[in-house]
Amino acid sequence: MSARCAQCRSRPCPRRCERAGCALAEPRAGGEGGRQVSDRTHRHLRRPLASARVIVGHRRSQGSDMVLATFLSAIAGCANAGGFFVLGQYTSHMTGYLSAVADDFALADMALVAGALLAILSFVGGAALGTVLINFGRRVDRRRQYAYPIAVEGGLLLVFAACASVPGARGLALAVLCLTMGLQNATITKISGARIRTTHATGMITDVGIELGRALFRLANPGSGVRASPGHLGILGRLLGAFLIGGLVGALGYRAMGFLFTVPLALLLLGLALPLLVPRRG
């Protein structure tokens, strides 16, 4: 009778495992030295893959939420600023578009009304799409529920890069980028339990003012029981800083690369999501 594998306890080992202690592992080309190099390579490859699974995975923590929110805030700032150079409009500011509908309707400029409505409906559609993808992921495979919308966001940024460079496709480019911003906002809202939104800064700046007001009131009235949250203020500052830096990168990226400035953003998002979408071996 053949010996039993020390790792998988099979007789003989059907997996040809390379783990230490498996006496039945078949040698590979290159001998022991080659196998050690292979093991080291696999370890280096597993580290970023494991990091992606922590950041985008279904098991959430305050730390992983903050890392993902900071990353997505930078992406939103970059796409928003670069999109302004491409389209002449900021694509995540639905307040402005809603006001534009009223203003342009009063001026009887139906073409501008249609453009603003297109942006609003695309943003709403993106938020709906993000919610559908997350709920689909929860039903099919909870580990991948947040990877689906992030991968789709990366794909949409590639579509934007393609259609923004086509003459006469400005309306389509606007719709795609607004769709992307809506999808991202819904995704981070669902992930964080509605604590964080990343595509617009108005709400975050309002929260900064609220925290500062609490702090000032407490200084003037120490026994009032009103408390500020320095931790929350730090989170808001981090997200706003990421949005600002992303905006600077987006503006410079458009000047350097033109319509293709969203391609690196798309690749970053796909690189974050694909490790969870590719089945694990073994």
What pLDDT, in 10s, does the model give residues 81-117? 888 887 888 887 788 889 989 999 999 899 989 989 9
> Is residue 27 situated within a structural domain?
no
The predicted pLDDT at position 95 comes to 83
Which is nearest to 189 in space by CA: 273, 124, 269, 130?
130
> Is residue 232 situated within a structural domain?
yes
Q: How far apart are CA 117 and CA 135, in angstroms?
A: 27
Which is nearest to 130 in space by CA: 82, 191, 58, 182?
182
Q: Are 68 and 55 in contact (CB under 8 A)?
A: yes
Torsion of CA 170, 176, 180, 183, to 10 degrees: 140
Distances (CA, A) of 50 to 20, 54, 192: 21, 6, 20
* Terminal-residue alpha carbon distance, the chain: 26
Lowest mean pLDDT among 42-46, 135-139, 170-174: 42-46
> Is residue 162 situated within a structural domain?
yes
- What residues contact 4, with CB distance under 8 A and at least 6 apart? 10, 11
> Is residue 44 situated within a structural domain?
no
> What would the pLDDT profile of 53-87 be if each residue is shown by its tens digit?
667 666 666 777 788 888 888 988 898 888 888 78
> What would the pLDDT profile of 144-173 be if each residue is shown by its tens digit?
888 899 999 999 999 998 887 787 888 898
Q: What is the mean pLDDT of residues 126-143?
A: 89
> What would the pLDDT profile of 230-276 be if each residue is shown by its tens digit?
888 888 898 899 999 999 999 998 888 887 888 999 999 998 888 88
When divided into structural domains, the chain yields a total of 1
User: Quick one: CA dihedral 195, 199, 201, 202, positive or negative?
Assistant: negative
- Specify burial of residue 252 (Cβ count, 10 A radius: 0-12, 13-18, 19+): middle
> Is residue 191 situated within a structural domain?
yes
Range of the domain at 244: 65-218+227-277
- For the chain, the average pLDDT equals 78
Lowest mean pLDDT among 8-17, 138-147, 256-265: 8-17
The predicted pLDDT at position 1 comes to 47
In this predicted structure, the answer to whether residue 180 has a pLDDT above a threshold of 80 is yes
> Is residue 39 situated within a structural domain?
no
Percent of the chain topping pLDDT 90: 27
> Is residue 12 situated within a structural domain?
no
Distances (CA, A) of 101 to 26, 87, 140, 213, 236: 70, 18, 40, 34, 31
Q: Are 184 and 83 in contact (CB under 8 A)?
A: no
- What residues contact 76, with CB distance under 8 A and at least 6 apart? 92, 181, 184, 198, 199, 200, 243, 246
Q: Which residue has the tokens 């009131």?
A: 217
> What would the pLDDT profile of 235-248 be if each residue is shown by its tens digit?
889 889 999 999 99
Q: How far apart are CA 282 and CA 280, in angstroms?
A: 7
> Is residue 25 situated within a structural domain?
no
Residue with the larger pLDDT of the pair 125 and 198 = 125
